[in-house]
Amino acid sequence: MAKLYFKYGAMGSSKTASALITKFNYEERGMKVWLIKPATDTRDGDDVIKSRIGLSHSCRAIAKGEDLFEVFKAEAADVDAIICDECQFFTAEQIDGCRRIVDDYDLPVLCFGLRTDFLTHSFPGSARLFEIADSIGEIKTICECGRKATVNARITPDGKVVTKGRQVMLGGNDRYLAMCHRCWKKKINENN
């Protein structure tokens, strides 16, 4: 029986690398995978998923207004699995489309993404996955102090922690640093 999976982690926890390795594992066994991401993620091009360690693959970008379930039926109903990267940027309705694919087509849908933003607030896609996913797993990474990192700290070029701004601002190591909550609060207090 297929499941809706949510695999989340802080920035730098190798979520995208894990997604691409999972895709490889399916394909190595002769299975067809539909690799998708939200069109919001344009960091490496509109139709590319790329990990920080250099793994990359072409994908289908799903625009905010697209009905994910209908796009699936039109373009990918013959696949064996669906892998979604940066799923936090999907709308709640698009995540509901993933759930419907699992239920109606008995296909596994594996979603990889962030749990929260730079202020520790849920993203719409992540919040919905916590509500309806069959399997939820954390991909762990560590803070520079050695504790488990849970916060995606947005930083300035000089390393100060940002505490205001829009929820979505694309970036990598140049804009974000995974931290434990304790170090994040300490850095915020140092800025004041």
DSSP-derived 3-state class of residue 110:
strand
CA dist 45 and 107 (Å) reads 27
Mean local confidence (pLDDT), 47-52: 81
- Distance, CA of 52 to CA of 43 (rounded, Å): 11
What pLDDT sits at residue 192? 60
User: Is residue 176's pLDDT more than 90?
Assistant: no
Residue with the two structure tokens 């509500």: 131
Out of 66, 75, 86, 93, pick the active-site residue: 86
**Is pLDDT of 170 > 60?**
no
Q: What confidence tens digit (pLDDT) does each residue in 10-33 have? A: 988 889 999 999 999 999 999 999
- Is 86 a residue of the active site? yes
Which pLDDT tens digit goes with each residue over 69-79?
Answer: 999 999 988 99
Pairwise pLDDT comparison (80 vs 152), residue with the higher score: 80
More confident residue, 52 or 141: 141
User: Is CATH 1.10.3720.10 correct for 4-138?
Assistant: no
What CA–CA distance (Å, rounded) separates 136 from 49? 22
pTM value is 0.90
37-74-60 Cα angle (round to 5): 20
**Which residues of the chain are in CATH 3.40.50.300 domains?**
4-138
Residue predicted with more confidence, 174 or 33: 33
